[in-house]
Amino acid sequence: MIVFIDATERCDRLDDPPLSDDDLSHDPFKFGTLASAIPNAFVTGHAYARVCQIPGPDTNHFTNDDAPASTSVNVKQDFVIDVYWDLSGPLISAFGGSWDLTIFFDCASDGKLDFQIKNTDNIDYGCPNPNCFPKPGTTTNTRQYHASFLVPAGTVKVDPNFPNGTFYEIDVAIALLDTCNSLPTTGITGSVPVEEVLFFSA
């Protein structure tokens, strides 16, 4: 099953991103990969993601990148998945197309509860934007993106066989789709393993 959510698109980046999978001294986001198949001399990419329900999403989603990630989520309340990614390098201006984001929810106890979340529309690769934060923003050789998914209450289902809580493995997939064929043939793909989150009903 695919659930479509119209993510809020921003043009900012983490002010203190994690440097590795086990980095606990920087922003509380999971560390991912992007464009790793392309030599860093040409393109360097980073990707990060976080699930958050503390203290609860406001109407503008989370703007505080220091809010701690949630290891447990109440399915009767909204929660937010924030995804940040960026590219830099001398070949950035040679690419185009649109970004496809897919968030996979794999239930540990019942595969029938598995589902995906996708953005309603793909996100445009875009041109350099001097208004991106922090300013002066993106340049010919950089791009930065932030998609905030407000997931409505009731989207995630608790396994009735485990009423006290159901674990889901969450992974974010990112792909730059080619302008001509809408396929991920650009070589710029990546993922963020958000890992296990316990969903409960209260």
Domain assignment of residue 31, given as a range = 2-200
- Does 138 have pLDDT greater than 90? yes
Bridge partner list, 193: 171
Distances from the Cα of 149 to the Cαs of 3, 131, 133, in angstroms? Answer: 11, 22, 19
Question: Distance between CA atoms of 92 and 148, rounded to whole angstroms?
Answer: 24
Question: What does the DSSP 8-state code read for residue 69?
Answer: P
State pTM to two decimals: 0.93
- Does 55 have pLDDT greater than 70? no
Q: Please, which pLDDT band fits residue 186 given cuts at 50, 70 and 90? A: confident
H or E stretch at 173 = strand 166-177
- Does 49 have pLDDT greater than 60? yes
Q: Structurally, how many domains does the chain consist of?
A: 1
Burial 28-48 (b: 16+ CB within 10 A, else e): bbbbbebbbebeeeebbbbbb
Phi-psi region of 116 (alpha: psi -120 to 50; beta: other; left: phi over 0): beta
Contact at 8 Å (CB) between 73 and 56? no
Query: Minimal CA–CA distance to 109: which of 196, 3, 173, 202?
Result: 196
Q: What tens digit of pLDDT does each residue of 76-133 get?
A: 999 999 999 999 999 999 999 999 999 999 999 999 999 999 999 999 999 999 999 9
Contact at 8 Å (CB) between 7 and 151? no
Question: Distance between CA atoms of 50 and 132, rounded to whole angstroms?
Answer: 21
Question: Distance between CA atoms of 76 and 39, rounded to whole angstroms?
Answer: 44
Query: Minimal CA–CA distance to 105: which of 179, 49, 25?
Result: 49
What confidence score (pLDDT) does residue 50 get? 95
Question: What does the DSSP 8-state code read for residue 20?
Answer: S
At 70, which CATH number? 2.60.40
